[in-house]
Amino acid sequence: MIYLDHHSTTPVDSRVLDAMMPYLTDKFGNASSLDHSLGHEASIAVESARGAVAKAIGARSNEIIFTSGATESNNLALAGTMNRYRDKGNHIITCTTEHKAVLDTVKYLEDHHGKKATYVHVDEFGKADLSQLEDSITDQTVMISIMAANNEVGTIADIAEVGKIAHEHDVIFHTDAAQAAGHINLDVEAMNIDLMSISAHKMYGPKGIGALYVRGLKPRVRLESILHGGGQERNMRSGTLNVPGIVGLGKAAEVAIREMDAENTTFRTWSKKMLDSFEQEGALLNGHRTDRLPYNLNICFPGVESKAIINSISKEVAISAGSACTTQTVEPSHVILALGHDEERAHTSIRIGIGRFNTEPEIDRCTQLITELVPTLKNIAAQ
């Protein structure tokens, strides 16, 4: 199987697995049990991983809170902030192309907690309208949440500019960086980011572990917990720490930052090669042509159903039609629609995600299969 669906998940890097294994076997202590050596050993491993994650985004170790993944991090960031700062206001600003983990949380806050939300529009390339964003800020605005890079079309947001706008208006800025962390350069200080959601399994780490960066100074951000119990993670996220997963996230972040630039050079070459071939068959690119994740390629083949392409090559190549978190529905991609395209374009678009362990022959084979298949499917559809 040629795996080209790295947006939905990535295989665990063998170096990550090697780092995790001792904490699944001999070093099985609870990181909160400091009365004996096994617990102390686990605690040291957790703090080491915390430092690695912090270093990857330019943060301090004590600003990293471990969670079960980016979905929980998003929920904690949004609900935790809006409820903590209820005395300041009840308004949140986000974007129409956000991941469902953000959009559904915002809707929950609207429906059940009386919060008000503004959904900023994007242009045809997926870039948020920053003029609308700034004009939407009121004296009731508590926070802004704009994702760092889109999980479907790969468009990279103007995060530093959003952060600048937020801080000029004394507004907290959160970014969902699940697809961006470990893949593009992120610096919470330079970009004025106050909260950042991270997922391990999007950067060759294990599933079920993630992190939330919570700014500690200038301004210090406080959250109201959504999980209550033993008070772990500075009382922001109670629960026994997933030591093997945390170690895996730390190692994944360390490897990703070290190898990011070289990988991205290769990914850009391969994605351009594929795009050039597909455009010769009439394909249309979704998202921004240059400000995009290097490993992302989201393309539309007019007149050809995406599921027809995916199913026809599924025995040899794994690709997708969009977000893995919404594939149980038959609704067209809200991201493609938000770019101003119609439902037909949404239903004729495929997403290809290149990864660390792919090879150029695999890229060439996938390209060959699709370019040979599309004319046949067009003829069938036209009959």
Question: Diameter of the chain by CA atoms?
Answer: 74
Whose tokens are 């996230």? That residue is 249
* Side chain identity at residue 280, one-letter code: Q
pLDDT of residue 379: 86
What backbone torsions phi and psi does residue 227 show, to the nearest 5 degrees? Answer: -125, 130
Query: What's the sign of the alpha-carbon dihedral 260, 266, 270, 276?
Result: positive
The percentage of residues in the chain with a pLDDT greater than 70, rounded to a whole number, is 98
| pTM listed for this prediction | 0.95
Walk me through the domains of the chain, giving residue ranges and CATH numbers.
2-7+260-382 (3.90.1150.10), 14-254 (3.40.640.10)
pLDDT of residue 383: 73
Q: Give the pLDDT confidence of 132-190 residue by residue, as tens digits.
A: 999 999 999 999 999 999 999 999 999 999 999 999 999 999 999 999 999 999 999 99
pLDDT of residue 381: 79
Spell out a b/e string for 215-244, using b for 16 or more CB atoms within 10 Å of the CB, else e.
Answer: beeeeebebebebeeeebbeebbebebbbb
Residues in the chain, pLDDT under 70: 323-330
The percentage of residues in the chain with a pLDDT greater than 90, rounded to a whole number, is 95
pLDDT of residue 125: 98
What backbone torsions phi and psi does residue 70 show, to the nearest 5 degrees? Answer: -65, -30
Written as six digits, the tokens of 257 are 């930052």
Task: Encode the chain in three state secondary structure.
Answer: CEECECCCCCCCCHHHHHHHHHHCCCCCCCCCCCCCHHHHHHHHHHHHHHHHHHHHHCCCHHHEEEECCHHHHHHHHHHHHHHHCCCCCCEEEEECCCCHHHHHHHHHHHHHHCCEEEEECECCCCCECHHHHHHHCCCCEEEEECCCECCCCCEECCHHHHHHHHHHCCCEEEEECCCCCCCCCCCCCCCCCCEEEEEHHHCCCCCCCEEEEECCCCCCCCCCCCCCCCCCCCCCCCCCCCHHHHHHHHHHHHHHHHHHHHHHHHHHHHHHHHHHHHHHCCCEECCCCCCECCCEEEEECCCCCHHHHHHHHCCCEECECCCCCCCCCCCCCHHHHHCCCCHHHHHCEEEEECCCCCCHHHHHHHHHHHHHHHHHHHHHHHC
* Side chain identity at residue 16, one-letter code: V
Nearest Cα to Cα of residue 340 among 376, 300, 309: 300
Q: Give the pLDDT confidence of 297-343 residue by residue, as tens digits.
A: 999 999 999 999 999 999 999 999 976 555 455 689 999 999 999 99
pLDDT of residue 324: 56
pLDDT of residue 323: 61
C-alpha span between 368 and 276 (Å, rounded): 12
Integer angstrom CA distances of residue 283 from 332, 337, 373? 19, 17, 13
Active site residues: 325
pLDDT of residue 330: 63
Whose tokens are 């009382």? That residue is 235
